[in-house]
Structure 1
Amino acid sequence: MSKPFDIVISGGTVVDGSRGLRFDADVGIVGDRVVAIGDMSSASRNQTIDATGRIVAPGFIDVHTHDDQAVIYDPAMTAKVSQGVTTVVTGNCGISAAPLPDTHVLPMPLSLLGRQDLRFATFRDYLDHLRDSPLSVNVIALVGHSSLRACTMDDLSRAASEAEIASMRDLLSDALDAGAFGLSTGLAYPTAINAPTAEVIEVGRPLTKSGGLYVSHMRNESDNVMDSLSETFEIGRELGVSVVVSHHKIGNRRNFGATSRTLPYITSAMEKQSVCLDCYPYDAGSTMISTDPNMLDGRVLIISSEAHPECAGRDLDDIASDWGVGKVEAARRLQPGSAIYFLLSETDVRDILRFPHTMVGSDGLPGTEKPHPRLWGTFPRVLGRYCRDLGLFPLETAVWKMTGLTAKNFGLVDRGVLKAGSFADIVVFDYDTVNDRADYQNPTLRSSGIDIVIANGSVIWQNGEHTNCHPGRVLTRTAEASE
């Protein structure tokens, strides 16, 4: 008698993450792997999950997160698991929990990593700590350029010296050897805005040998977005590595419609080098509180303020009016903290999301009471609002943008697709009801329509609750490359 399946997901419609057409089939799981897809109605099994009338898809990969510390202090990761996410990419925008100096105060945006006890001197220490932690989701970790600068420089408002570049390069080499997937930058931020292109290239030299990714929150996403794309592509060419343009967007009303220039330019670059991009499905972004008038050119909703915590959840206009000051001065008084900026065009958001090569990332900031709703709603929002309701693309394409495309771009082996032999990272959802519920007034509402989430063969979400199972793993570039 053959060994029974541990789990059979029966009666569902499989959307396998490859962009291939959906098909009806059962999915059989043994251990942490999918071992069969087909008719298993007569097969013996230990557990049956009835997926009648449901979609069975690969678990979603959140390609852009700031969950570096959250995966440790919040083992359930409910904000992500409740959306069907089974893998998160951390260390984006130049901000990573390792390596970081053991100082009480870090400059914004590094201080968004609020837990001093969860900052690590070496990247290997960070990954080892993750391995010893009860993870719900798989973790792919990037090294932050601003974090490297904070470890080696006494003043982040200047360019690095040759000696400092050499030190950063050594730290990056160590991180890549430990399993980091690549280097991220946040060149728009005070911690890196004065780093010239040459610095980034020289720091990033170890990427060439390792095959790591260069992932960039570019220097400008507004008036000078084309120049910033050019710089990003130049860095990728010089290093001979794949580039990921983080959360591609066009800021400020005067630039609305610029996707008619950026997307063809990205397409042209893709013909010459390896270029990827991601976006989030909202017309507002979120980051540190800024006093840049360009950032304040529109509605600004305060998420958190260390100086005035009572202002969380209020509009900057109202705060400034109450204080009898301008928006810039009000923002200065509120620093440090985080805010939501309504600077984007919904038409541009749709154009970028519809672009064939765009991956999906939440870019949510955990650890606050009033986060951007994208932390809790990104993936069901793509499925419900943009795919089902607005018809931007077929369901097969929507799932691919959140699974197979990301797995391919990050070089993941046997993840992001549902096939025999793949890891059993799976989400079962109701396509008729799946939707985000989180909004700017109630940003932590759980999404609807996500029935079952499985990571590495273990059910982690069922009946609207976490199962208290933690099968998540640390995925490393070195391990994936050796498969």
Structure 2
Amino acid sequence: MYDLIIKNGKVIDGTGKTSPQDLDIGIKGNLISEIGNLKKAKAREIIDAQGDYVTPGFIDVQNHSDSYWTIFDYPGQESMLTQGITTISVGQCGASLAPLPSLEGFKAVQKWRSAEGENINWQYMEEYLEILSRQKLGVNVLTFVGHSTMRRGLLGDDIRKLSESELKVLERVTTSSLKSGAFGLSFGLVYAHEYNSSKEELLRLAKLATQHGRSISMHIRNDQSHILEAIDEAIDLSQESGARLKISHLKIRGRENWHLADQVIERLDQTHKKGLNVRFDLYPYTTSWPVLYTYLPKWSYEGGKSELNKRLAQPYLREKIINSLHEQNQDLSNIIIATSTGSPHLIGKDLSEIARAQEVTAAEALLNVLSSSMSEVVVFDENISWENLEQFIKHPLGMIATNGAGFRTKKINTKNLIHPRCFGAMPRYLNLVLYNKWLSPQKAIHKITGMPAEYLGLKNRGVIKKGSIADIAVFDPNGIRDLATLPSPYQVSEGIRAVVLGGELALSGGRVMARKFGQVLRA
């Protein structure tokens, strides 16, 4: 007698090597107990997957539910679960919710969401993971340790090279976090408090990840005209430290830079041929969701939000920033304000509309938005090439991620806009690759199951085999599609029939179960 049988489906095992097979899956407790012909077997519950693919639960290797605080506001993470996602990897882009050498470290997440008024009753990674485990989680959650969180907790808003004693403190805090269960170390080199980190600092911390058998994840320093140099920096760090590397949300922003895609691919291919363990993730959209201040020249936001505001208030420096924006030859006019803490009336408007109302250029309007919003602004920008996106999706080193956050499926009461990838990234990806035949079904599934599991070092997840954890997605390959859009993001995707999480039915017939079965995973 099984607890659950999934029968009549076409099983794709997540390895990327085996085509869909007509198999049944028998589950006992939280494990896959049998795979084969179970037509005569009995179970307490049976899922008839006739016409559906049965795959490992999807692993979101780049997730921001922690930095948007939705891991606590909406622990059910319904917008993730309804995509077939069973595990999310947070603590990305240099920002994690622990450890906190001081509360200054918590400011690392403020570029995405205001942290004002939140109750922080932990300091160390172990304490954070324990508190997180008390939430009624709708998906499994694992975390990386964020370099910016630790660095800012140590230095506050000081932007300078660490002293030897400070670097040793950072090493101790990193080591403690890895021993407490963090799956790796993340960097966000584009952001103000990490941009000037020395190579020695990055290398010494990356070597700690290697020593503990963990990975590193990097938001590279530049994804526009200097993307090749930024990728070289990431690859060199991986090569010198020996760490498994993931380049986060790989993309080339700006039409004037799209031609660099072939050179990016060439560098990745050369890296792979050398035997280096380097991968990247991306989301299947041409609209990015960046922090607005990252459009500015790096010197202008050195020192963080307060220093940026001071510079914006000085006419000479303000003019220098505007001239720099004009020299970059970027089309700023279509950038849409998605989140603005100080000026909610601007949300949903693009910079051309704001510029007309203020009778200024788009560059000047951008600075006005930052000044009025205390620099906490996130935007939508359709600045990614479809051709590049297809090329990166097809690449064998690419994994697919939401780079979003989990929400409940009912629209929340806020003026802020969220990216549709929070609700539709995985179904959108599967619709694209299966309908257009960009990839075989087994290769497509490998990019969201077995490959991220291997990179993360997850044991017994990401594949369907006897003895593995029963995290499983069941979906209609002909009917899976995303419905979420920029104007209307709170739309559940179609085609996900069922999700099994740790052997328990978490979603059935498109309906999320009331009980929550997610766990905090520790490395």
TM-score, structure 2 normalization:
0.86
* Contact 2:139–2:518, Cα closer than 8 Å, also in 1: yes
Q: d(CA) in 2 for partners of 1:317 and 1:206?
A: 47
> Relative to 1, partners in 2 of residues 1:200 and 1:105: Cα closer, same or farther, differing over 3 Å?
closer
1:260 is matched with which residue?
262
Letter in 2 for 1:74: Y
User: CA offsets, 1:7-34, max 9 Å, x none?
Assistant: 1111111111112110111111111011
User: Aligned match of 1:346 in 381, 386, 399?
Assistant: 386
2:203 is matched with which residue?
201
1:301 is matched with which residue?
336
Matched, 1:417 2:467: no
* 289-298 vs 461-470, greater mean Cα deviation: 289-298
2:322 is matched with which residue?
none
Report the alpha carbon displacement of residue 212 of structure 1 after superposing the two structures with TM: 1.5
Report the alpha carbon displacement of residue 465 of structure 1 after superposing the two structures with TM: 2.3
Report the alpha carbon displacement of residue 99 of structure 1 after superposing the two structures with TM: 1.8
2:284 is matched with which residue?
281
Q: Could you say what secondary structure the match of 1:475 adopts? A: coil
Report the alpha carbon displacement of residue 433 of structure 1 after superposing the two structures with TM: 0.9
> Relative to 1, partners in 2 of residues 1:50 and 1:322: Cα closer, same or farther, differing over 3 Å?
same
Report the alpha carbon displacement of residue 198 of structure 1 after superposing the two structures with TM: 2.2
* Contact 1:95–1:109, Cα closer than 8 Å, also in 2: no
Matched, 1:65 2:63: yes
Q: Could you say what secondary structure the match of 2:279 adopts? A: strand
| 1:140-159 equivalence runs, <5 A | 140-159=142-161
Q: d(CA) in 1 for partners of 2:151 and 2:450?
A: 33
User: Aligned match of 1:329 in 364, 379, 392?
Assistant: 364
Q: d(CA) in 2 for partners of 1:163 and 1:84?
A: 46
Q: d(CA) in 2 for partners of 1:104 and 1:6?
A: 45
User: Aligned match of 2:485 in 433, 439, 443?
Assistant: 439
1:428 is matched with which residue?
474
Letter in 1 for 2:386: E
1:480 is matched with which residue?
none
Aligned length: 473
2:401 is matched with which residue?
361
Report the alpha carbon displacement of residue 158 of structure 1 after superposing the two structures with TM: 2.6
Matched, 1:370 2:421: no
* Contact 2:338–2:348, Cα closer than 8 Å, also in 1: yes
2:447 is matched with which residue?
401
> Relative to 1, partners in 2 of residues 1:227 and 1:24: Cα closer, same or farther, differing over 3 Å?
same
Report the alpha carbon displacement of residue 110 of structure 1 after superposing the two structures with TM: 4.9
Letter in 1 for 2:89: V
Q: d(CA) in 2 for partners of 1:231 and 1:382?
A: 29
* 157-166 vs 188-197, greater mean Cα deviation: 157-166
* 180-189 vs 266-275, greater mean Cα deviation: 266-275
Q: d(CA) in 1 for partners of 2:454 and 2:108?
A: 35
1:16 is matched with which residue?
13
* Contact 1:94–1:184, Cα closer than 8 Å, also in 2: yes
* 268-277 vs 367-376, greater mean Cα deviation: 367-376
User: CA offsets, 1:177-204, max 9 Å, x none?
Assistant: 1011111001011121121222211333
* Contact 2:31–2:470, Cα closer than 8 Å, also in 1: yes
Q: Could you say what secondary structure the match of 1:402 adopts? A: coil
> Relative to 1, partners in 2 of residues 1:224 and 1:119: Cα closer, same or farther, differing over 3 Å?
farther
Report the alpha carbon displacement of residue 63 of structure 1 after superposing the two structures with TM: 0.6
Q: Could you say what secondary structure the match of 2:119 adopts? A: helix
1:112 is matched with which residue?
113
Q: d(CA) in 2 for partners of 1:186 and 1:376?
A: 24
Q: d(CA) in 2 for partners of 1:240 and 1:156?
A: 30
> Relative to 1, partners in 2 of residues 1:130 and 1:154: Cα closer, same or farther, differing over 3 Å?
closer
Q: d(CA) in 2 for partners of 1:58 and 1:460?
A: 14
Q: Could you say what secondary structure the match of 2:447 adopts? A: helix
Report the alpha carbon displacement of residue 271 of structure 1 after superposing the two structures with TM: 2.7
* 20-29 vs 94-103, greater mean Cα deviation: 94-103
Structure 1 spans left out of the alignment, 5+ residues: 478-483
CA RMSD of aligned residues (A): 1.9
1:481 is matched with which residue?
none
* 183-192 vs 155-164, greater mean Cα deviation: 155-164
Q: Could you say what secondary structure the match of 1:28 adopts? A: strand
Letter in 2 for 1:219: R
* 85-94 vs 299-308, greater mean Cα deviation: 299-308
* 373-382 vs 322-331, greater mean Cα deviation: 322-331
Q: Could you say what secondary structure the match of 1:381 adopts? A: helix
Q: Could you say what secondary structure the match of 1:188 adopts? A: coil
> Relative to 1, partners in 2 of residues 1:7 and 1:428: Cα closer, same or farther, differing over 3 Å?
same
User: Aligned match of 1:190 in 188, 192, 199?
Assistant: 192
Q: d(CA) in 1 for partners of 2:199 and 2:356?
A: 41
What percentage of aligned pairs have identical amino acids? 30
Q: d(CA) in 1 for partners of 2:112 and 2:484?
A: 25
Q: d(CA) in 2 for partners of 1:80 and 1:72?
A: 14
Report the alpha carbon displacement of residue 343 of structure 1 after superposing the two structures with TM: 1.7
* Contact 1:139–1:473, Cα closer than 8 Å, also in 2: yes
Letter in 1 for 2:40: S
Q: Could you say what secondary structure the match of 1:158 adopts? A: coil
2:318 is matched with which residue?
none
Report the alpha carbon displacement of residue 103 of structure 1 after superposing the two structures with TM: 5.1
> Relative to 1, partners in 2 of residues 1:112 and 1:160: Cα closer, same or farther, differing over 3 Å?
farther
* Contact 1:108–1:336, Cα closer than 8 Å, also in 2: no
TM-score, structure 1 normalization:
0.93
Q: d(CA) in 1 for partners of 2:164 and 2:85?
A: 41
* Contact 1:60–1:87, Cα closer than 8 Å, also in 2: yes
* Contact 1:59–1:84, Cα closer than 8 Å, also in 2: yes
2:352 is matched with which residue?
317
* Contact 1:252–1:297, Cα closer than 8 Å, also in 2: no
* Contact 2:114–2:376, Cα closer than 8 Å, also in 1: no
Q: d(CA) in 2 for partners of 1:18 and 1:208?
A: 24
User: Aligned match of 1:177 in 159, 168, 179?
Assistant: 179
Q: d(CA) in 1 for partners of 2:143 and 2:291?
A: 22
> Relative to 1, partners in 2 of residues 1:262 and 1:364: Cα closer, same or farther, differing over 3 Å?
same
> Relative to 1, partners in 2 of residues 1:118 and 1:286: Cα closer, same or farther, differing over 3 Å?
farther
Report the alpha carbon displacement of residue 118 of structure 1 after superposing the two structures with TM: 4.8
1:167 is matched with which residue?
169
1:87 is matched with which residue?
87
Q: d(CA) in 1 for partners of 2:169 and 2:365?
A: 39
Matched, 1:47 2:45: yes
* Contact 1:372–1:443, Cα closer than 8 Å, also in 2: yes
